[in-house]
Chains A and B, each alone.
Chain A
């Protein structure tokens, strides 16, 4: 499952407009291969819209390249096949299928019709490996709908792993998780980033301090600041619009 090579994400002058309202306003973003980049910013800053644009869900102008491939202008499923995987703010696993079935589907986007027409007689190796990685090895036969909230998020990440995604875009993966679940998720991100590039949208400052390798702050559709956690925290503009408020309310 080790991807053939690590690639980075390179976004230039990205712009998304909804009926005259500019949600993403000329964003430049470089995520080097193997990074764990945290994307933060107040509600409505355009974080989710940025991910939507990169994954083909909304139309955008500018450029978004992964490795040497331009992503903009392609269909959603074609972008996914280039190795871009994402999760959603609300966990969206296939609730009426088992954990193994969820992973097996995620692993199979390039299967032939002949393979699809037959039954899965055993758990494929990559699915078994992912089950271990996401800590659900003993839940393979359980319905995904019966998983706890945190487990669903892990299953979603597992689905990206088996789908051979080399860029993971995770939208608020630890929202609603307990402390233990957050720790486990953080450890999972570190494992995963060994051979992948990871972008995490997150609100939780504590989680960010512990697991971010680099941070980009968005505000009103623009990049406000970028750097290490320390650099970003020290940036007065960031304190003004975001961190200041948040650390104050956290304390």
Chain B
């Protein structure tokens, strides 16, 4: 990661300050965090529902699901250096697990879901569908299933020291494989159409705007919960270790750690977050399909994170929402160009602002409140390029 000084300002101020506790900032630590969460809650639970139309609010619910995936990518990629281009797989596992349950509930006890009746090849429910009839199995499965798959894949891959671009490509191949599998098993998965036309959510009619609002509130609360979890993770000793593995995997190994285990934990947590996001996406949108979880959406998840700032807590969330919003706004008006625009945005950010938009914010804040820090930043920028080069190659 060549993003050194910019991205670096954040983990240090996040994790270093509370430990040292010497810097007498007026407004820092628990008070600031509580204020931040209160502000977030006020925006999500009061401002948005009061000012947005039902239609806009349901769009926002969708974006917040993407933001939940982004929180996980922020941990796996931003903190752990694992560029995962296949989060759609975990999003999809969570989404399909939820959708299967809701389809079965819609159909009623003993009945086949509508699409299975339509294709008419089956007289009874396939074996692997049956557990999902029970909410006690289906709901935990939306999170645990993605985590289990991530654990399996991660165990195979990290120990063999697959990383960097190889890991990215491998994770993307998984997304492609999952789509092929789903499309190929049309009779039991709904094929290209996916699982559509979901009516009810645990007894509540999803066509009713009141219930749509309830789903929105559940999603908003889940996002805040994931942020709290991510924050704890980033600030824990594990979070520091994860950054160390990202920046010097070999070095960590020589200190007696097995980096594969450290990465595995971050990857599995990110998968669980994507799974929860997928599960909540289903009642918000009423559908889950291969097109929503394949390679393209998997890459779009990552673009939002890159734009917002992958190594920060809030950057991925804000970036994900912004990019998802821009996608809706622009692809309506200029269909066809959005894909290119999005690609261009990604390249620009990666090339010129590797810390994402969050790094601009961190820099501005530092200049204002911490002149010494800003001076250090300038100095490190002006540092002997030769020295910088050897450090980079050493890492």
Find out whether the CB atom of A97 lies under 8 angstroms from the CB atom of B255: no
Secondary structure class of chain B's binding surface, majority of residues = helix
Q: Which of A33-41, A87-95, A196-204, A243-251 contacts B (4 or more CB under 8 A)?
A: A87-95
Instruction: Tell me which residues across on chain A come within 8 A of B251, comparing CB atoms.
Output: 88, 92-94
Which listed residue, A80, A108, A149, touches B241 by the CB 8 Å rule? Answer: A108
Q: Which of B36-44, B193-201, B242-250 contacts A (4 or more CB under 8 A)?
A: B242-250
Find out whether the CB atom of A81 lies under 8 angstroms from the CB atom of B241: no
Find out whether the CB atom of A115 lies under 8 angstroms from the CB atom of B258: no
Q: Besides A76-B250, A98-B19, A104-B237, 7 other CB < 8 A contacts?
A: A77-B253, A91-B391, A94-B251, A100-B20, A104-B240, A108-B241, A159-B255
List of 9 A-B pairs having minimum Cβ-Cβ separation, nearest first: A109-B256, A80-B256, A90-B394, A96-B8, A141-B20, A116-B238, A98-B16, A81-B256, A94-B244
Whole-angstrom CA separation of A96 from B254 in the bound complex: 18
Whole-angstrom CA separation of A55 from B256 in the bound complex: 11
Whole-angstrom CA separation of A102 from B387 in the bound complex: 20
Instruction: Tell me which residues across on chain A come within 8 A of B387, comparing CB atoms.
Output: 149
Q: Is A145 an interface residue (CB 8 A)?
A: yes
Distance in angstroms from B22 CB to nearest chain A CB is: 7
Q: Is A179 an interface residue (CB 8 A)?
A: no
B394 to chain A: closest residue by CB:
A90
Interface residues of A (CB under 8 A from B): 55, 75-77, 80-81, 85-86, 88, 90-98, 100-102, 104-106, 108-111, 113, 115-123, 140-141, 143, 145-146, 149, 159, 163
Q: Is B12 an interface residue (CB 8 A)?
A: yes
Find out whether the CB atom of A90 lies under 8 angstroms from the CB atom of B237: no
Whole-angstrom CA separation of A93 from B254 in the bound complex: 12
Instruction: Tell me which residues across on chain A come within 8 A of B255, comparing CB atoms.
Output: 77, 80, 85, 105-106, 109, 159, 163
Whole-angstrom CA separation of A154 from B258 in the bound complex: 24
Instruction: Tell me which residues across on chain B come within 8 A of A120, comparing CB atoms.
Output: 19, 237, 240
Instruction: Tell me which residues across on chain A come within 8 A of B18, comparing CB atoms.
Output: 119, 121
Whole-angstrom CA separation of A149 from B391 in the bound complex: 10
Interface-central residue, B11, B23, B233, B255, by most chain A CB under 10 Å: B255
Secondary structure class of chain A's binding surface, majority of residues = loop
Instruction: Tell me which residues across on chain B come within 8 A of A76, comparing CB atoms.
Output: 250, 253-254
Instruction: Tell me which residues across on chain B come within 8 A of A94, comparing CB atoms.
Output: 243-244, 247-248, 251
B395 to chain A: closest residue by CB:
A92
Whole-angstrom CA separation of A86 from B254 in the bound complex: 7
Q: Is B286 an interface residue (CB 8 A)?
A: no
Q: Is B390 an interface residue (CB 8 A)?
A: yes
Contact count band on B = 35 or more
Distance in angstroms from A88 CB to nearest chain B CB is: 7
Distance in angstroms from A50 CB to nearest chain B CB is: 16
Give a binary string over B375-395; 1 marks a CB under 8 Å from any A CB, 0 the rest: 010001000000100110111
Q: Is B117 an interface residue (CB 8 A)?
A: no
Whole-angstrom CA separation of A193 from B237 in the bound complex: 30
Find out whether the CB atom of B236 lies under 8 angstroms from the CB atom of A92: no
Q: Is B214 an interface residue (CB 8 A)?
A: no
Find out whether the CB atom of B237 lies under 8 angstroms from the CB atom of A118: yes
A-B contact pairs, 14 of them (CB 8 A): A77-B254, A90-B393, A91-B394, A96-B243, A98-B12, A100-B20, A111-B237, A116-B236, A119-B237, A120-B19, A120-B237, A143-B8, A145-B391, A149-B387
Q: Is B235 an interface residue (CB 8 A)?
A: yes
Instruction: Tell me which residues across on chain A come within 8 A of B4, comparing CB atoms.
Output: 95-96, 145
Distance in angstroms from B30 CB to nearest chain A CB is: 12
Instruction: Tell me which residues across on chain B come within 8 A of A100, comparing CB atoms.
Output: 16, 19-20
Instruction: Tell me which residues across on chain A come within 8 A of B393, comparing CB atoms.
Output: 90
Whole-angstrom CA separation of A238 from B257 in the bound complex: 40
Instruction: Tell me which residues across on chain A come within 8 A of B49, comparing CB atoms.
Output: none
Give a binary string over B212-246; 1 marks a CB under 8 Å from any A CB, 0 the rest: 00000000000000000000110111101101100
Whole-angstrom CA separation of A100 from B237 in the bound complex: 12
Find out whether the CB atom of A85 lies under 8 angstroms from the CB atom of B254: yes
Whole-angstrom CA separation of A109 from B394 in the bound complex: 22
Whole-angstrom CA separation of A96 from B17 in the bound complex: 14
Instruction: Tell me which residues across on chain A come within 8 A of B22, comparing CB atoms.
Output: 141
Instruction: Tell me which residues across on chain B come within 8 A of A117, comparing CB atoms.
Output: 232-233, 236-238
Q: Is B5 an interface residue (CB 8 A)?
A: yes
Whole-angstrom CA separation of A88 from B395 in the bound complex: 11
Find out whether the CB atom of B12 lies under 8 angstroms from the CB atom of A116: no
A83 to chain B: closest residue by CB:
B256
Whole-angstrom CA separation of A77 from B241 in the bound complex: 15
A109 to chain B: closest residue by CB:
B256
Instruction: Tell me which residues across on chain A come within 8 A of B19, comparing CB atoms.
Output: 98, 100-101, 119-123, 141
Whole-angstrom CA separation of A32 from B254 in the bound complex: 23
Find out whether the CB atom of A145 lies under 8 angstroms from the CB atom of B380: yes
B18 to chain A: closest residue by CB:
A119
Distance in angstroms from A142 CB to nearest chain B CB is: 9
Which listed residue, B8, B15, B232, B237, touches A115 by the CB 8 Å rule? Answer: B237
Whole-angstrom CA separation of A146 from B25 in the bound complex: 22
Find out whether the CB atom of B16 lies under 8 angstroms from the CB atom of A141: yes
Q: Is B7 an interface residue (CB 8 A)?
A: yes
Distance in angstroms from B8 CB to nearest chain A CB is: 4
Whole-angstrom CA separation of A91 from B244 in the bound complex: 14
Instruction: Tell me which residues across on chain B come within 8 A of A95, comparing CB atoms.
Output: 4, 8, 247, 391, 395
Whole-angstrom CA separation of A120 from B253 in the bound complex: 21
